[in-house]
Structure 1
Amino acid sequence: MSGNPPDANELRQGMTVRIVQSDQNVKSEDKEPLVGEVGTVVGEDPEGPEVELKSGAVGHVREVVTDE
């Protein structure tokens, strides 16, 4: 993962993103981010926008996953 997290206004429902769950330490490098589709954008946060994935997981977006 690299760069800064996206702004909340850049996120749309259905986008695939990597998140660090809210109950994990966002700054910890040993936590594996979850990948899933955005269900709801909860709001802006200094640690990255907070979203709820369609799976129900809630966390801070680290990056948007693009098709490669």
Structure 2
Amino acid sequence: MAAPVIVHAPAPAGGRAVTTRSGDRLGVAYGPQDLLEFLRRAGLAEDDFALDDRSLIEWRGAGPDVWEAA
């Protein structure tokens, strides 16, 4: 099954778009804390997941340690 949250590749201006598999835009994350806040607002407690949990988050273009374009 595909991960329900997608973190897109870093944008040239910085940050990464975050969407749901259904196409809802959660916002632009500029770091892990932003992503955690989006997931919290979606009803997930921080203790319920890890940012490297591929069953929850699909990372496109770079992993969870990259937030700015190369």
Normalised by the size of structure 1, how large is the TM-score?
Answer: 0.29
Structure with a larger share of its residues in helix: 2
Structure with a larger share of its residues in strand: 1
- Rg bigger for which structure? 2
Normalised by the size of structure 2, how large is the TM-score?
Answer: 0.29
